[in-house]
Structure 1
């Protein structure tokens, strides 16, 4: 589950991680009030106005309707109001959103961190995530902050550092000091960085994060170390331990079909292809998607109905797939181990009848428990549903459907 920047920063503060202070605003009037508070509190006439969406590249992205960037530095109350008006309600298009973009429902009006002081200001990059190759958490960091880390890794890989942490042991003091040293810090900034990294890692563990990224990680001119931006993703499987965090979910940022699938406990991910697929089991789903590509099609989705599928969940999955106008054929590939094939077949038949006239080809391959009964149900239903026993037969039918589309 992804969080907005303003939500993530509030959580980090609970772990004593210094962040760029600010206020989440839904209207230009709220943004103006936030600016007044920031100016009074910090004595600066500068403030940063940031669009809040679940995507990176906001600073380079543009609001489609007004043409301004998703992150703007305001120098006055009038500019804050103007930027808020032009960003809120607009569609922000970034390299991560694609052409569709995302509608901005909130902005974050934050304090200016680029004030003058006795030392040089610097921007770093730091993220924490699980390295599945060795079963350890990894802290990835670089002196090249404030830019796309992919470009840094490609052009100057020697500037990317990694520190692995055994999950059960926690971050050791020498590791935090090593990170601060590799970032070229000394004195007060060195001490502040070791504290920052230690507290940030504690937040990563305590919040059950799947990913935590700070870019830029900022060294201010007075040697304070501050999270200027924050991307935080929580492990969905851990939300049972964090009911308060589950309340932070912003459904408006998610694909509507994926949200609907979640209501039926279906594992659904929308893709860009032309062949919808419904499968039970993630491994079989991946194999089915490979088979679709080999047959000349492109998967339109990943849909795992799980081992407890019944007629109701199958019908729900069927309806979700059909909402995608790009779908030219549907392949249902079920292995009846726990789930009974006849239940799946009945769900397909019910969905077909309830949805009325369906023009696109539907190929159903059922193997395992009650597979023969399932095939009989489909064959005798009178519906335009093609059944297959072998995977090769299903592949051939998919090929025909794609070629004819």
Structure 2
């Protein structure tokens, strides 16, 4: 087996841009379809493997890749620092996950913990594996603290425990379980002392990937990857929907003006009919723009293998076909209470003065109602994507099992 390492200079945004564009277009089927591709595409999620020179980082990377140190494409290791730059390897089970073998802490290319964590590590990577072959040190604490402060996660990997066990075997009353327990307790205590919450520590030997905590680490990392990839996609969709919401809310002045304009014409009944016709069409279009219409949801349900009603169950706003004059009246009343009814009556009773006053108030009320309606649609679209993509995460879990 061979793995070709590559040094990543620039990250291609193509598939991310396609995902964002589908969210912007309200094409929920395309959003999930592209998300399925992103799970198989490169450079979605990057794991930094970091530790001191000689800690066994490269052997650890090879063990994760299922390679021996002398296999073609394996990470280089040795008594001296061999990683002069970040070398990237594709995860054997998740092609879109990259394992990044970074220069050892203390190596010339590392410079300093404080500088590198701020400028490179936290900006460029999604998850961290801190590897050490020795006792817990201040550099590990600094690294763990910085990662935690920036809301990112890490595992603390105590490598080469086979050497610790070999040394302890010479002592009387040797117990492998006791030795491993002592090493684990020390690591966890030191991390907690440094302010790290709920530290996860794994004891292993890269030469024995079927022993100690190695199988547990791979299992937990698999769960982290599936959850993190889902969360990353949902973060992208959430930001994109917020941008779309903001842009669409800037357009509500036009339908509000059109709907309130006839109210200034002193003809009884014209204001109400004209207002409602404009708003019904406008709000139906907003629903379709977010993909909250029957055709869109039906296509999405078929793609993810769910019932359309199950997807609709998480929607709190009305669908396009549910928007009627009565519904628009109720939404307006929600924001101004009886004021809408009163102002409409007042406009009819006092044709000129009353209708001009009604038109002015109706404009502000309509804008406010439409802005809130759009905001609710954006939240509903995100809820739909959460439901659909959670299904994809379960499929991924079953596939790997």
Smaller-chain TM-score range?
A: under 0.3
Q: Would you tell me which structure has more strand in proportion to its own residues? A: 1
Length-normalised TM-score, structure 2: 0.26
* TM-score, normalising length: structure 1: 0.26
Q: Which has the larger radius of gyration?
A: 2
